[in-house]
Amino acid sequence: MADFKVHLYGAVATSSLAALSVYSFGWTGPRQTLVLFLVGVAGGLLPDIDCPKSNPIRGFFALLGVVLAFGMTFSFVGRVPLPGLALIWALVFVTVRYGIFVLFARYTVHRGIWHSGLAALAAGLASANLAYHAVGLTAWESWLAGLFMVLGYLTHLTLDEIASVDLQGRRIKRSLGSALKPFSLERPWTSLAMLLLVLLLGVSAPTLAPVLAVADHYGLDVAMLRARLLGGGA
C-alpha cells in the first residue's frame, strides 16, 4: 500500500497538471485554479479516512469539528455570554473529533467502501453540492470542484493498486483489486448506503447546463443528453 507521502505527491502532481490545464483553457482565473488544486489534493488523501490511524482521518475530523463548532457557536451569539459560547464550541468539537470519530472508526474497514469508484463519485458530488449550496460558487465552478475531487480520489486508488504489484519480488500482493473497485462486495450494505448517498447528492447537485454548454462548444454531440437532463431541445 502506498504511504502518505506517495499519495500526497501523487495528488499534487495530478492536481497541478489538471489545474494548469483548466487555466490554460480559460475556464478559471488564478484564484479559482488554486482552489481547484487544493480540492484535488484533498481528494488524493480522502480515501484513507477509513484508516483510524492515518493522518487524513484525524485531520478530517479535526477540521470538521472546528467547522461545526464555529457554525453551532455563531447561532448562539447575542443570546449566550462568552463563557457559554466557549463551552458550546468545546463540546461540539470534542463530540465530533473524538465521539463521532470513534464511531466512524468502529464501523468502517480499511480498503472497504471508501476505496471504491462509488465512493469517489459520492465525494465528487458532495464537493459539487458543497461548493454550490454552501460556498456560493457558480454551477460551472462547482462541477469543476467535483471533478477535481474525483481526480484526486482516483489518483489515490490507482497508486494503491500500483503498490500492490511488487516488481522487485515479481509477485502480486493480496491487496490487489481492493482499492480500485466499483463498490465493496464484502460489505454489500455499505455499498447500498453509499449508492443511496450518491442518488441523494445527484438530486441536489447543481444544474448541468454549463457543463453541457462547454461540451457543445467543443463540438460534442450532447443534444439527447441535454433533452433528458434539462427537459429541453438541443
pLDDT tens, position by position, 141-169: 999 999 999 999 999 999 988 876 544 44
In this structure, the number of other CB atoms found within 10 A of the CB of residue 88 comes to 17
Quote the number of domains for the chain.
2
Q: Please report the beta strands in the chain, taking only residues with DSSP state E, as ranges in sequence order.
A: 165-166, 171-172
Q: Using one digit for the tens of pLDDT, what is the confidence trace for 173-203? A: 554 555 678 777 777 888 898 999 999 999 9
171: β partners: 166
Residue 11 lies in a domain: yes
Instruction: At 49, list the grid cell.
Output: 479516512
In this structure, the number of other CB atoms found within 10 A of the CB of residue 221 comes to 10
Residues 127 and 34 in one domain: yes
Nearest to 158 by CA among 140, 184, 136, 176: 176
Question: Residue ranges of the chain with pLDDT lower than 50?
Answer: 166-169, 175, 232-234
In Å, how far are 103, 150, 160, 207 from 178, measured between CA atoms?
23, 18, 9, 34
* Interior angle at CA 197, CA 135 and CA 124, nearest 5: 45
Residues 149 and 190 in one domain: yes
Residues 141 and 218 in one domain: no
Residue 45 lies in a domain: yes
Residue 224 lies in a domain: yes
Residues 42 and 149 in one domain: yes
Residues 119 and 185 in one domain: yes
Residues 142 and 222 in one domain: no
Residues sharing a CB contact under 8 Å with residue 131, sequence separation 6 or more, in sequence order: 137, 141, 142, 145, 146
Residues sharing a CB contact under 8 Å with residue 227, sequence separation 6 or more, in sequence order: 233, 234
Residues 118 and 233 in one domain: no
Residues 132 and 20 in one domain: yes
Crossing angle of the two packed helices 223-230 and 209-217, in degrees rounded to 10: 170
Q: Can you tell me the distance from the alpha carbon of 203 to that of 151, in angstroms, rounded to the nearest whole number?
A: 22
Residue 151 lies in a domain: yes
Buried b (16+ CB within 10 A) or exposed e, 143-163: bbbbbbbbbbbbbbbebbbeb
Residues 41 and 133 in one domain: yes
Residues 115 and 159 in one domain: yes
Residue 218 lies in a domain: yes
pLDDT at 167: 42
Residue 63 lies in a domain: no
Residue 179 lies in a domain: yes
Q: Can you tell me the distance from the alpha carbon of 127 to that of 42, in angstroms, rounded to the nearest whole number?
A: 11
Residue 214 domain boundaries: 207-234
In this structure, the number of other CB atoms found within 10 A of the CB of residue 140 comes to 20
Question: What's the pTM value of the predicted model, to 2 decimals?
Answer: 0.75
80: β partners: 77
Identify the residue whose cell numbers are 460489505: 187
Residue 140 lies in a domain: yes
Contact 210, 140 (CB under 8 A): yes
Residues 230 and 194 in one domain: no
Residues 116 and 182 in one domain: yes
